[in-house]
Structure 1
């Protein structure tokens, strides 16, 4: 079995805002202490919608990595790299395109949604149609066990699982697979080999899931098997072929509860965001100028917090005590809208302060960021090359 590994990425299409922090980066910081994590700059993905003006990609890439570091992503715990610096992504994407039915790509829900939302752009390209398959290649090339996604991205993980399953079905049944599996069992030794066969029989005949898990643990603990033999026996357990590409699982990420300055979802395209490293004076001005309950025309007019976008920010940033004070003050006109906004301003600035501190060394010496990414690209490429060696061999491309 492969180690539990998490993969996630972001497209470099502009500065990151606090919605990115609450929706993804806080989760990355937590995951890096629980799993082996790889986080990448998806610059090729950015080209699928920004191919006419790619200048934003170069401008955004390094700033985005600094934002990750500012948010608390630790390069000693996670691998940070740039997609295009690992060309094996493109090779696997190409090879997977040979077996992926066109209908699978056309049915991805976000495909038609994005075509409608970005109707001002010409997205009638293969790159845009094929970006879910490139996402699949991004995941499968690292044999990632888990991918943190929101509910809207689950279809992308499902197509990845289908592609991996189809690939393993077509190419995992190597010539003489059963004979090689039987030979591998003998290498385990009489006692372990007999136990493996008993557990396999219990699973295949009775559907005993505990027997399946016990057999997997047995294989993981058997030291004298080659990588290829181990993967054959994992596949043989379930009457499948050799496991070449791992089917990933979703790690469902809770949707960000952080609204934008207008009450809508915080988004670069809506222009309603507060950036991770925005200057305090600018943050204060933005929050003070937020719209409030339309009923509060005058300071003496009572309001309804649920009708005010600022109240949504209080749900994220304020304590129960502060929220009680806001509700009572708003509904009785005991406080004004600027009074209500100040605790939010204070809380946002307090959240951002450590981000500024973590970012400063990289702003002072940009070579530090380049070095982190270079090291990450090297580590990522080694993993990708290991996978591609197996992929090429399975597809008959490993000849000399």
Structure 2
């Protein structure tokens, strides 16, 4: 595949905390592979994170480098993927401003993803304007790099739909094809549960295993995992469905046959939780150890990590600047050319 025929991918993470195994299985692992197959932009979405973290801005900005460390530690190659800081690409904010004129408040409020996020945060009608309009900001992020593919979870499909609505609206308004529609790429991995079994894995909920977790932290997390509350004795038949340990084994253990055998044994009885947890603990220790080691090496030279971010951000500004120039020319805003 030639460079010109390669798809362009835009993906990223809010910088509200270090990344965890839910991120790894849901997107990071795929991004490492995609960088060999596509032109990939990885966005550290600090501006978006600030929309619902008023007063907690230091946490957001401090975690920019933490997320970057996680990217590099899992194998993201900055010579193949462009890692950028959202707030340092002003072209994105300007493009957002133009796109905001093409959508109504009512349409934003109907976005199912936004409605659910508002409910979860308890905003009711006290919705920060920046949060309500973040679908437009996300559309600017995607269209600025003319991304053709955007890996997302199914809960983000309304965001992609709204992005493409804005693309069509803009192109129809200026009567030319300037912006590019994108395609959602769904992960084939279901969302990883938290170790408590009650919600998705989240650092803020205290039910996550970070990519920099120590051996003791991993062991403790595995031992604390929710299993089957009715599996009181080793001899009792156990339930696999809803059992977090087996959900993790399905996600991380490549020996599918062994996992199936463990499930069968657990269901008929005679297999203790401690044995199954021991298998998972061994697998997670082997997975995280090289990531943790690499992360510590990178952490020793944060100046170089910042240099990587600076170079990636400057590359991103060039690409976004070209798109913005096309947008302004189409709108008649290129007064001095």
Normalising to structure 1: TM-score of the pair?
Answer: 0.78
The residue that corresponds to 1:63 in the other structure is 66
The correspondence of residues 172-187 of structure 1 with structure 2, limited to 5 A, is 172=175
The correspondence of residues 325-336 of structure 1 with structure 2, limited to 5 A, is 325-327=261-263, 329-331=265-267, 333-336=269-272
The residue that corresponds to 2:201 in the other structure is 266
Structure 2 SS opposite 1:306: coil
Partners in 1 of 2:272 and 2:88 — Cα distance? 53
Partners in 2 of 1:93 and 1:83 — Cα distance? 12
The correspondence of residues 1-400 of structure 1 with structure 2, limited to 5 A, is 4-119=7-122, 123-172=126-175, 241=176, 243-263=177-197, 264-306=199-241, 308-318=243-253, 319-327=255-263, 329-331=265-267, 333-400=269-336
Of the two, which has the highest radius of gyration? 1
1:394 Cα deviation (Å)? 1.5
Alignment RMSD (CA, Å): 2.1
Runs of 4+ in 1 over 4 A off after TM superposition: 120-123
Q: Identify the range of structure 1 (300-309 vs 13-22) with the bigger mean alpha-carbon deviation.
A: 300-309
Note if contact 1:143-1:245 (Cα within 8 Å) is conserved in structure 2: yes
Note if contact 1:141-1:388 (Cα within 8 Å) is conserved in structure 2: yes
Note if contact 1:10-1:40 (Cα within 8 Å) is conserved in structure 2: yes
Note if contact 1:109-1:155 (Cα within 8 Å) is conserved in structure 2: yes
Partners in 1 of 2:14 and 2:126 — Cα distance? 17
Gaps of 5+ in 1: 173-240
Partners in 1 of 2:59 and 2:289 — Cα distance? 27
Partners in 2 of 1:122 and 1:56 — Cα distance? 26
1:305/1:82 CA distance change after superposition, 3 Å: same
Residues matched between the structures, number: 331
Partners in 1 of 2:207 and 2:41 — Cα distance? 30
Normalising to structure 2: TM-score of the pair?
Answer: 0.91
Partners in 1 of 2:43 and 2:241 — Cα distance? 38
Partners in 1 of 2:73 and 2:222 — Cα distance? 22
Structure 1 SS opposite 2:200: coil
1:269/1:365 CA distance change after superposition, 3 Å: closer
1:296 Cα deviation (Å)? 2.6
Structure 1 SS opposite 2:241: helix
Note if contact 1:115-1:123 (Cα within 8 Å) is conserved in structure 2: no
Note if contact 1:258-1:266 (Cα within 8 Å) is conserved in structure 2: yes
Note if contact 2:147-2:180 (Cα within 8 Å) is conserved in structure 1: yes
